[in-house]
Amino acid sequence: MSKERGLMGRREFLIVSSTVAVATAAIGPKLFAAEAVAPKRLAVGYAPSDESAALVPASSIPAGDGRFLRGGARISVSGASGVSADPRSRRAVELLVNYSYWDGAARKQAPFRAWACSRTTGCQGNPVKFTVPVDEMQKISISVGVERGPRAAVTSRAVAGPPAIGDDALPVTLSMLSDPSSLKLVRGFYIIVPLFDDDAEPRWSAYTLQQREGRWALHDRDGNVASFEHFVLHIDYA
C-alpha cells in the first residue's frame, strides 16, 4: 500500500479485488423499475488544473501527455454536484476504473469501484485518491454506472469479477494514443455529465470550475452550482 493515504497501486489493487470477489458474487442481481430508463450517454468537459479556468469539451484536447508513462496517473474523486434533492432520481451511481492485468496469456480487466453514491440515503461516500498505471495500455478505462430503479446504499470500494453495473455502464477512455474513439489523457479536470437522449451537452464556456467545502463543481456566472448532475475527476502525475 502506498505511503500516501488513499492511493492504491496495481499490485495492491489486484490483491484487494481478488479478496472481494467472493463477497461480490453473493450480493445477487439488482432490482430495476421496469418503466424507468437510464441515461444513455456522457458529456465530458475539461479544464486545466487552475481554479476558474475556462472549460472546453474534452474532445477538443489535441494530444495525450506522455509524461504519465513515468509513474501513472493519480485520480481524485470527491463526489457528485448539481444532484436532485431526491436521491432516487440520481443518474450516476458509481464510477469504476478498469485495471488491466495479465492472467497467463490472456489480458483481463479488474474493475475498482472508485466512487459510489446512495440512491437511498443521498450519501456521497468519502473523497478518494488512487493511482492508475498507464505504462502498458497507455490509457485509462473508466465505466460510469447508471441505474434505472431503486438502489441500496453502497459502501464497498473494490469489486472483482464481472463489473457490478451491468449493461447500463457508460464508458470513458482517456488515452495517450491516437485513437479517435478515446479522449486524450492530460493533466487537469474532467467533468462528466450523464445525459438522456434528449438532453443537450452543457455549454461549457458558461461555467467555471470552483472548489467549495472541499468539492470541485461547476458554477454559473452568478456563483451558483450548475443545476445538472455532474462529477469531477482531477488527474495529475502520480
**Domain layout of the chain by residue ranges:** 10-237
Report which DSSP code applies to 117.
Answer: -
pLDDT confidence band for 161 (50 / 70 / 90): very low
pLDDT tens-digit readout, 83-96: 777 766 667 778 88
The pTM is what?
0.75
Say if residues 145 and 164 touch (Cβ distance below 8 Å).
yes
Predicted confidence (pLDDT) per residue in 32-47, tens digit? 333 346 788 899 999 9
What does the pLDDT read at residue 12?
A: 53
Contact between 188 and 209 under an 8 Å Cβ cutoff? The reply is: no
Residue 53: exposed, middle, or buried by beta-carbon count in 10 A (0-12, 13-18, 19+)? middle
At 37 the pLDDT is 62
